[in-house]
Amino acid sequence: MTDHRIDRRKFLGTSLGAGAALLAGPALIGQASSASSAEASSGGFRFIHLTDAHVQKKLGADRGLAKAFEAANSVSPKPDFIATGGDQVFDTMKQTEDYSRELFGVFNGVERDHNDLPIYHTIGNHDIFGWAGMYGTTPEHPSYGKLMAREMLGLERTYYAFDHKGWRIYVLDNVQPGPNRFYQGDLDPAQREWLEADLAAKPASTPAVVISHIPILSVTIYSERFFNEESLTYEIANGLVMRRGVEVARLLAQYNVKLALSGHLHQRDRIEYQGVTFICGGAVSGNWWKGPLYGVQEGFGVVDLKSDGAFDYAYHDYGWESEAAEAQG
């Protein structure tokens, strides 16, 4: 199996020097710090799930992301890598090419200057250029859709898998075009076929993690705002959660997938279904940089994967205070 991630540092010819001095940053607070170094050194490892940064040119988003990266780099024991969960920028789907490239440039600049860990990117709906068709952007544009994010984030493919210290990590792209909407949560047939084949080829004893932007399963959708009083039915757009989520969950359960991480909803939940744990991992940007959302602070996930297939997950509030006037604690 090949690693489809391009080394963007080599790709861009950038230096790692700037991030190194930040490793002595503030100590990790919260539950994540309780994970023992003994666990991390017994064959397992730690990574950071950093989702929904939503870099924009207001509300100090660049400063907030820098603070999140510095906190992620200061976690002890040190993580092996960062996996983003999508929506690195906000919002290329509805913006011009120049503005969209500028946003990715801000993200990359902050990442270059404040992160020293390897980074694996997941693509989110807001990272997809031009699907809303605004400013005259059409599918004929040379950077249309996911091409810009692939170029700017250094991704050969938007879905891929890699092995790390006895675990297999799947990064999925479950943001797909929809006939009547800008996007829908689903896996295209080619990706589903690849996923099934790769899971089947994986040694059964190898535990796995799946990362996708849109949750495969989530309880947050059972909200009154989605309830139709006439039909007494929840009307849940599949832009919120992935279509065929239960079917995909059953597939994952067959192949020793232990954990499925997502972003997108900027909320936190944790579901166990057929032995697979599904965690929606909050958001670096909280309520789109306007403060916490439904009590969920701006944060990221600290994930410890053990050599025996067990894992620990803790959500880390990295201490950002919103610069929005209407922000609430």
In the complex, least distance from residue 152 CB atom to Fe ion, rounded to whole angstroms:
17
| 123 vs 210 by CB, closer to Fe ion | 123
Report the distance separating Cα 216 and Cα 218, nearest Å.
Answer: 7
Copy the structure tokens of residue 316.
């880390």
Note the residues at the interface with Fe ion (CB under 5 A). Answer: 52, 87
C-alpha angle with apex 6: 307 to 1, nearest 5 degrees? 50
In the complex, least distance from residue 259 CB atom to Fe ion, rounded to whole angstroms:
20
The residue nearest Fe ion at its CB is: 87
| 119 vs 305 by CB, closer to Fe ion | 119
Could you write out the DSSP letters of every residue in 196-237? Answer: HHHHHHS-TTS-EEEE-SS-SS-STT--GGGEETTTTEE---
| 77 vs 282 by CB, closer to Fe ion | 282
| 125 vs 256 by CB, closer to Fe ion | 125
Residue 102 CB coordination number (10 Å): 16
Strands (E), 43-159: 45-50, 81-84, 119-120
| 52 vs 62 by CB, closer to Fe ion | 52
Is the CA virtual torsion 319, 67, 23, 116 positive or negative?
Answer: positive
Q: Compute, in degrees rounded to 10, the torsion defined by CA atoms 41, 34, 172, 196.
A: 60
User: Strand 167-171 relative to strand 208-211: parallel, antiparallel, unpaired?
Assistant: parallel
Nearest to 266 by CA among 30, 52, 49, 48: 52
In the complex, least distance from residue 178 CB atom to Fe ion, rounded to whole angstroms:
17
Copy the structure tokens of residue 124.
């989110």
Task: For tokens 């597939």, name the residue.
Answer: 251
In the complex, least distance from residue 283 CB atom to Fe ion, rounded to whole angstroms:
6
In the complex, least distance from residue 262 CB atom to Fe ion, rounded to whole angstroms:
10
Q: Compute, in degrees rounded to 10, the torsion defined by CA atoms 54, 56, 60, 61.
A: 20
| 115 vs 285 by CB, closer to Fe ion | 285
In the complex, least distance from residue 271 CB atom to Fe ion, rounded to whole angstroms:
19
Nearest to 255 by CA among 202, 186, 308, 191: 202
| 52 vs 173 by CB, closer to Fe ion | 52
Copy the structure tokens of residue 159.
């879905």
| 52 vs 304 by CB, closer to Fe ion | 52
